[in-house]
Amino acid sequence: MKATGIVRRIDDLGRVVVPKEIRRVLRIREGDPLEIYTGNTGEVILKKYSPINELSQFADEYAQTASKVLGGTIIVSDTDQVIAVSGSSRKEYSNKHIDSELDKIIQSKNRYLNDSKIVVPIISQGDPIGSITVLAKDNKVLGDAELKVAEVGASFLAKQMES
């Protein structure tokens, strides 16, 4: 565990403020869920919760299947990092943090498309929880089929979260 040198007191309602610097570094926003753990020596551990991470097996199977059908790279991410990836660019994206461009697309809740990339946010109960990204293979132009595959994947993963 890394010491920060920051001390906070618990208020009368049992709340603790997570310092702005830590929230910025860990990309924790207002309303983000946090998991609470306790350690053997009395520590309390807060961890940013990723609902998509619970679906990593579904996400991985979806990415593999979609990549085989479309031939491109399929990336499934939560709001912080890549959860599953399949295709020729697998090594480049596996376990990487998402960039600010993808974060903005996810938070906007609007799909993004151009000739070589499609991004569809995964929205569960009105909240953006991740995205499906389709990257074109060998300069192939992406079209309606790739968009529909990404939309189906995003909808499927969102439904899994709700059940």
Instruction: Give the pLDDT score at 66.
Output: 95
pLDDT tens digits for range 36-77: 999 899 888 888 887 777 788 999 999 999 999 999 999 999
Instruction: Give the pLDDT score at 1.
Output: 66
In the numeric block, the tokens 């899994």 are attached to 160
The residue that leads in pLDDT, 71 or 3, is 71
d(CA 85, CA 91): 9
The residue that leads in pLDDT, 89 or 96, is 96
AA letter at 5: G
57 Cβ contact partners less than 8 Å away, ≥ 6 residues apart: none
AA letter at 73: T
Question: Residue 4 — pLDDT band, cuts 50, 70, 90?
Answer: confident
Helix axes 56-70, 144-162, angle to 10 degrees: 170
Q: Is the pLDDT of residue 88 over 90?
A: no
pLDDT tens digits for range 94-151: 879 999 999 999 999 999 999 899 999 999 989 899 999 999 988 889 999 999 999 9
The Cα-based distances of 53 to 49, 111, 134 in angstroms read 8, 21, 19
How many residues does the structure list for the chain? 163
Mean pLDDT to the nearest integer, 10-25: 90
